[in-house]
Amino acid sequence: MNIRLALLNSAERGVTEGEVLRLALQHAVAELDGLGGTVHLRGPMSALRLVSVAGLPPGLVRPWEIIDQEDTAAPACAVRQGTGVWMLHDPPGHHPARVGQ
């Protein structure tokens, strides 16, 4: 993990925030042996906005482009709980079901 953080720290000046988020997400997914991941940022009026995706097809994440913070989707649950949330994926058109809850 320290090697991955050092690599991110070495990013050239002028690299956009979006590019740094994308690189950090890719490294986080790799470190966790994941298949993919997303980054959402909190926006105005209690909405989370999808800003970066790694390893996931567009059709899968499209329903999560904008998520209300009171939604049952993983990013909204994580914001409300103040911690990471792991979820299984249900068929398209459904929000994932929470694991272990």
- pLDDT on residue 7: 61
Lowest mean pLDDT among 13-17, 33-37, 60-64: 13-17
Q: Strand (E) positions, 35-76?
A: 37-42, 47-54, 66-68
46, 69 Cβ separation under 8 angstroms: yes
- pLDDT on residue 15: 77
Select the more confidently predicted residue: 49 or 11. 49
- pLDDT on residue 86: 79
- pLDDT on residue 18: 82
Q: What is the pTM of this model?
A: 0.70
Q: For residues 99 and 45, what is the distance between their CA atoms, to the nearest angstrom?
A: 28
What's the pLDDT tens digit per position in 39-92? 999 877 779 999 999 999 999 899 889 999 999 888 899 999 999 887 776 555
* CA dist 61 → 40, 55, 69, 93, 101 (Å): 11, 11, 16, 10, 22
Select the more confidently predicted residue: 61 or 4. 61
